[in-house]
Structure 1
Amino acid sequence: MNYHILTLFPEMVLDGLNTSIIGRAAEKGLLSIEAVNIRDYTKEKHGHVDDTPYGGGAGMVMQAAPVCDAYEALCERIGKRPRVLYMTPQGQTFNQKIAEELAQEEDLVFLCGHYEGIDERALELIVTDYLSVGDYVLTGGELPAMVMIDCISRLVPGVLNNDVSAEIESFHDNLLEYPQYTRPEVYQGMRVPEVLLSGHHKNIETWRRQQSIKRTLERRPDLLEEANLSKKERQYLAELIQEEETAKTETQAQESNGSDRAEAQK
């Protein structure tokens, strides 16, 4: 996997990515990360890459020519025209499925905008994918690019010491990850669940799957629509939903009774 990041702040992305697991993977040659400074491709004598927007408005817009020239020079150097991912809140929200698809590529280009964005003509000429990390606005595309690169890299064979980790973490089968515990067995009166100490692998696996389902229902119920569940797990989910609805009904009844008693005391 070769990452090419078109940016105005190459130090920012390189300093952030050349550390920890991703940095070690780069050192081993499992992936490569290069930052292409868009400023190197401006023909403006003062090194400017932006200008005021046509039609007026606040802020500055990155010019099309330096962006396109940086990409074309990259393509000529590597001998191919890889996918270009533009970091923008207008794009499709990045998720694990997209990461899995992108992990199949050999080269990926991340285009990081700044100021009020990039001249639309550059986007139309080179961008293949518009991606977002959420419905909010950042000062530039560098942080979203780093987030996506970190996520995609974990799916590259050999990057994680234990490749199984990438398969069973959050969003595997569209479920959140189960709770994790380590030593000591008791901390501030809180014990590690007995099943994890049993050594019974089948029971542990069942418990973990159930905990993943329960946690997903509590925190991200929207994911359950596409969750990959067995018939027995779907039955377990139905029981959890029924328990949740029963508890909600009982709470509403208690609140109603309390309100009636308060009204009667008046």
Structure 2
Amino acid sequence: MSTRLSVNVNKVAVLRNSRGGREPDVAAAARACLEAGAHGITVHPRPDRRHIVAEDLPPLAALTAEFGVELNIEGNPFAPPRPGYPGLLELCRQVRPAQVTLVPDSDGQLTSDHGFRFDGDTGALAAQVADFAALGCRVSLFVDPDVEHLERAVALGAHRIEIYTGPYAEAFAAGDPGQAVAACAATARRASAAGLGVNAGHDLSQANLGLFLDTVPGVEEVSIGHALVGEALYAGLDATVRGYLSILDRAG
């Protein structure tokens, strides 16, 4: 099985929003990634509209449909609607992404840094999963690599998990990734044994992706944005996306 690359274009929107106006154009950046061979596009619209906003989604949905690839929308299903943000479920109802990745972020959180837990009352989460699945979305749950009771995600109706790889990236940068990547591998095995698909993301880069994929079995998709956009400032989007695809090919 080949791992797919979904490019997160949030950081392009951050740059646009820092100045106002339309440049850089998020859809144009996403098109460049897809023309380079990316397998999908990921976005994470937040209630505070600091990067991807609701208005970005229809053009991105049309673009991914044009290329025959998947749109993955991330977000907190429990964040209430407000002006400019109709809620994650309504956004997905409007554009029907192939996949929705549910994350337990708070409103003011800088970036996703923890996953769902399954050791308490999960009734509300199960109801949310059912609502998104009813739209025809594949539902993935963002989880920590050491999450307990992972198998309960199946009973919630989830189709996949996304392993939070931030701790692995930190350990890799510190020169000692062994324990962190082993934890990710163990989580992937547990998920696969339970019948869940496995995605991964957060702070993955060209430097650390190869070891991760060589060690963690059955990863169907990696979502990469921050490092990829940063690397593209030097090498360009086309060359950077192709660099990631080369790593995926070698791992496959």
TM-score by length of 1: 0.26
Query: Could you say which structure has the larger radius of gyration?
Result: 1
TM-score of the aligned structures, taking structure 2 as reference length: 0.27
